[in-house]
Copies of this chain bind each other. A is one copy, B any other.
Amino acid sequence: MVEDWEVLERRLVFRHRRWVSLYEEDVRLPDGTVVEGYLTAEAPSGTMVVGLTDEEEVVVLRGYRHGPRAVTYSLPGGGLDDGEDPLVGARRELLEETGFAGGEWTLLGEFTHSANRGMGTAHLYLARGVRRVARPESGDLEATEVELRPLDALLAEVFAGNVHVFKEAGALALAAVALRAGG
C-alpha cells in the first residue's frame, strides 16, 4: 500500500520575485522515518500550446533561450495571470507570441514539473485549426521568430538534438500521440 508523506513543518528558504519560492520541509514517511529539510518549490502555473494550422503545421517559435544557452525551438505559452483561467491564458499567450488564434482546443494534460520538488502546474493544450490573425507582440525578452513546421519534421528535429528543452520535446510527442489516437 502506498501512503502519502506527512508534512510536519515547512520553512521558506528562498524567494525570487514572483518566479520561484523554495521551501525546506520536514516530512514523515509512511514507515515513520522523519526526513528534515526536504526541498520543495513553488512557481507560477503556466500553459503550453501545440497549435496546428489547417495545413497540419505547428506554430513554433525559434530563437535563443537562456536556459539551454542555445538557439532552439519553443512552443508558445507562459505564466498565467492571477486567477486567469488556463484556457484563456493559453489562448492569450498563443496570440501574443505568435499572432495565431481560433481553432478547436483540447486539454492534453495538467502536469507538475518535478516529481520531487513540485514547481507549479503546466497546462498543455492542443489547438487544431489555428489561423494567423495579428502580428506577434509578446513583450518577452527573447527575440524569436514564428515558424510553421510539420509536426513530423519537428519530431525529427527532436531526435536530431535540435530541440533543447524537455518540455517542448515532450509536448510535441504528446501531441503526436494524441493526434494518432484521435485518428
Contacts and interface: CB of A to CB of B under 8 A. Distances in A.
Interface of A: 2-5, 13-14, 16-17, 19-20, 22, 24, 27, 29-31, 33, 35, 38-40, 62-69, 71-72, 74, 108-119, 122, 124, 141, 143-145, 155, 158-159, 161, 163-171, 173-174, 176-178, 180-181
A115 to B, nearest CB: 5
Contacts of A65: 115-116
A16 B25 CA distance: 12
**Copies of this chain:** 2
A119 B35 CA distance: 24
A2 B69 CA distance: 12
Q: Give the one of A27, A114, A124 with max B CB within 10 A.
A: A114
11 contacts: A2-B64, A3-B143, A14-B14, A16-B39, A17-B39, A27-B66, A40-B67, A65-B116, A113-B167, A173-B176, A173-B177
A174 B165 contact: no
